[in-house]
């Protein structure tokens, strides 16, 4: 896979990265997860994304970082210079007033705890995981800048920062000379809010990039739900508006998108990933899987990233 730069910066990522949000905690089989991580690396996926609050769907905070740390220390230690490891702080990690949020204290203790669990001296990207309305953006930005200056992170980013918040943070990062590279956002073909809100253009002008999480919309953009979506489907809060017109209407759109994907010689998942990567401002998409077969299928999306004007128009009509 060809690497992609985060905007105008020197940070390079594979177009498809592996995220360990779900099913990579202490309750999961280490050897099975290890196989997926190592297979991904063998296929050119050198970026692994975690956060300090990942683990067993929130019941064992930090255990995902610990799992990845074991694999890094036993299998990938010799390849550290080839890896990009990213983590985040900002959501609930422990009880007490500093167990959540992006205050200076929370961020500085967050990076130290993450490095201990990951068994690393530094991470490549450290994110403020969310916008914290109780903490001035300037305080969070300064904490991230200090984390880089302390050698605990090579680059920094923000996650779930909408356009006004990102613009304010970017200006402060510029003043400090901080190596800000990415805004990690929920972004997929069914939920193009990142585009329509002007965030992609804001980041493009700032010389930074977007990195998309949830690019397959919790699996909706696979062929599993072409015959219907179950009542208990666990939709992410950023995509809940998709159900406003009823699930049958969404299923009809999925089938139309699937037909277009077939016409392109791709699966629905592959086309959905390619649609995101068609714009160079999207540095990478973060997929989450525990299956080597699904991983390999998704990686094939990079074989065809171009879209004709007619295909883009058809997609727009389907999503109206």
Name residue, tokens 């967050």. Answer: 110
How far is residue 62's CA from residue 75's CA, in Å, rounded to a whole number?
20
Q: Which residues of the chain fall below pLDDT 70?
A: none
Contact criterion met (CB below 8 Å) for 39 and 48: no
Distance of CA 67 to the CA centre of its chain: 18
| Strand blocks (E) in 40-149 | 47-49, 84-89, 123-128
DSSP tag of 33 = H
The share of the chain scoring above pLDDT 70, in percent, equals 100
Q: Report pLDDT for 167.
A: 98
Question: Residue 9: how many CB atoms within 10 A of its CB?
Answer: 16
CA distance 8 to 17: 19
Q: How far apart are CA 48 and CA 260, in angstroms?
A: 31
Provide the strand spans (E) within the chain. 4-5, 12-13, 16-19, 47-49, 84-89, 123-128, 153-159, 180-186, 209-213, 282-287
Q: pTM above the 0.75 mark?
A: yes
For residue 234, the model assigns a pLDDT of 82
How many angstroms separate the CA atoms of 91 and 80, rounded? 27
What's the pLDDT score for residue 237?
83
pLDDT of residue 238: 83
Interstrand relation of 12-13 and 4-5 (parallel, antiparallel or unpaired): antiparallel
So what's the pLDDT on residue 175? Answer: 98
Nearest to 261 by CA among 207, 218, 297, 210: 297
Nearest to 2 by CA among 277, 188, 313: 277
């Amino acid at each position: 896979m060809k690497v992609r730069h985060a905007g105008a910066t020197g940070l390079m990522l594979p177009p498809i990265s592996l995220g360990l949000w779900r099913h990579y905690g202490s309750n999961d089989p280490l050897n099975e997860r290890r196989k997926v991580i190592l297979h991904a690396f063998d296929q050119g996926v050198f970026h692994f994304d975690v956060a300090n609050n990942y683990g067993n769907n929130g019941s064992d905070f930090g255990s995902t970082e610990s799992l990845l740390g074991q694999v890094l220390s036993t299998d990938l230690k010799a390849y550290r210079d080839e890896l990009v490891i990213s983590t985040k702080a900002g959501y609930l990690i422990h009880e007490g007033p500093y167990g959540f949020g992006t205050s200076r204290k929370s961020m500085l203790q967050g990076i130290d705890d993450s490095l201990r669990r990951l068994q690393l001296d530094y991470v490549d990207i450290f994110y403020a995981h969310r916008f914290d309305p109780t903490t001035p953006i300037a305080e969070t930005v300064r904490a991230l800048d200090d984390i880089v200056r302390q050698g605990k992170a090579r680059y920094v980013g923000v996650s779930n920062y909408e356009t006004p918040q990102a613009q304010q943070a970017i200006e402060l990062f510029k003043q400090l000379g901080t190596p800000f590279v990415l805004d990690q956002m929920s972004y997929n073909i069914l939920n193009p809010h990142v585009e329509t809100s002007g965030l992609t253009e804001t980041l493009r002008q700032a010389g930074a990039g977007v990195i998309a999480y949830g690019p397959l919309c919790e699996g909706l953009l696979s062929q599993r739900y072409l015959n219907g979506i179950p009542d208990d489907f666990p939709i992410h809060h950023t995509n809940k508006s998709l159900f406003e017109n009823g699930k049958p209407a969404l299923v009809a759109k999925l089938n139309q998108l699937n037909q277009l994907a077939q016409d392109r010689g791709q699966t629905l998942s592959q086309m959905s990933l390619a649609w995101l990567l068609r714009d160079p401002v999207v540095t990478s998409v973060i997929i989450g899987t525990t299956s080597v077969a699904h991983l390999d299928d998704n990686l094939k999306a990079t074989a065809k990233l171009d879209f004709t004007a007619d295909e883009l128009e058809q997609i727009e009509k389907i999503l109206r």
